Amino acid sequence: MSTQAPAKKMSLDEFLQWLDEDTHAEWVDGEVLLMSPISGEHQGISEFLLVVISTFVRSNQLGEVRYEPFQMRLANSSRSPDILFVSNANLHRLKETYLDGAADLVVEVISPESRARDRGEKFYEYEAAGVREYWLIDPERKQAEFYQLTEGGVYHTVLATSQGVYHSRVLDGLWLQVEWLWQQPKPTIIDVLNQWGMFSP
C-alpha cells in the first residue's frame, strides 16, 4: 500500500502506474494529492447514493457507474470522484482503471478538508471538461447542490422543488428526495424503488 505521495512530480501515466487500489489519491499538474480518511456519515451517504444510482442505471441499461478510488482522467488532472456515471455513448472511453475524459454525472460528498477543493478547483475542472451534471453533497451542513451544464458549457444551479425533490437531467426519470440523504437510517433501496414506481411486492 502506498502511504506517502512521491517526492517529485510525475506524469499522468506514471501516476496511474504508481496508483494501487488501496491508495486514494488524485493527480493535479504533476503533483500527487493523497486523500484524507472519510467519516462514517460521508461513507453512509456515498453508499446510499451509489446503490440508488447504480440500481437505476442497471435497471434501465443506461451505462456504467464507478466509485472512488476509480480515476477520471482530465486535461491537467486525474480526479477520483465519490461516484461517476458513464453513459452508453461514452463507454468506449472507460478503461480498466480510469475513465479517459469527463463522466456524464459526478457526485462528490464533501469532507471538511475537501470543501474548498470540491467547490473551487473541481467545480471549474468538471465544468471545463464537460461533466454534464455535478452533485455536491455536504453532510456537515446538510446541503445538497446540483449543477447542470448549459449548452454554453457553464454550470447552472438547479434547485430542488418546493417538496425537496431534485430531478436529474442526465439520468432522465431519476429523482431524489434530498431529505433522504440526512435520514438515519437511510431509506432502503426497496423504499426508493417503491417511491419511483419501479417495484411492487
Q: Report the pLDDT value the prediction gives residue 35, as an integer from 0 to 100.
A: 74
Q: Report the pLDDT value the prediction gives residue 1, as an integer from 0 to 100.
A: 39
| 133 found inside a domain | yes
CATH of the domain at 174: 3.90.1570.10
Arithmetic mean of pLDDT over the chain: 90
| 6 found inside a domain | no
Count of domains for the chain: 1
Count the neighbouring beta carbons within 10 Å of the beta carbon of residue 39: 14
Pick the residue with more confidence: 200 or 139?
A: 139
pLDDT > 90? residue 10: no
Count the neighbouring beta carbons within 10 Å of the beta carbon of residue 117: 18
Which pTM does this prediction carry? 0.85
| 5 found inside a domain | no
Q: Report the pLDDT value the prediction gives residue 3, as an integer from 0 to 100.
A: 59
pLDDT > 50? residue 186: yes
Domain range for 62:
39-194
| 63 found inside a domain | yes
Cα gap 42→109, rounded to integer Å: 6
> Is-cis flag, bond preceding 6, omega within 30?
no
Give the three cell numbers for residue 144: 445538497
| 148 found inside a domain | yes
Pick the residue with more confidence: 82 or 114?
A: 82
Find out whether 121 and 127 touch, Cβ atoms under 8 Å. no
Pick the residue with more confidence: 109 or 200?
A: 109
pLDDT > 90? residue 183: yes
Q: Give one DSSP letter per residue of 33-46, joined into a string.
A: EEPPPPPHHHHHHH
Q: Report the pLDDT value the prediction gives residue 196, as an integer from 0 to 100.
A: 93
Pick the residue with more confidence: 163 or 32?
A: 163
| 31 found inside a domain | no
| 14 found inside a domain | no
The predicted-structure confidence for 85-113, as pLDDT tens digits, reads as follows 999 999 999 999 899 999 999 999 988 77
Count the neighbouring beta carbons within 10 Å of the beta carbon of residue 74: 23
Q: What is the largest CA-CA distance in the chain?
A: 57
Find out whether 72 and 98 touch, Cβ atoms under 8 Å. yes
Residue in 38, 31, 34, 1 with CA at minimum distance from that of residue 14? 31
| 57 found inside a domain | yes
pLDDT > 70? residue 2: no
Cα gap 63→71, rounded to integer Å: 17
Find out whether 18 and 10 touch, Cβ atoms under 8 Å. yes
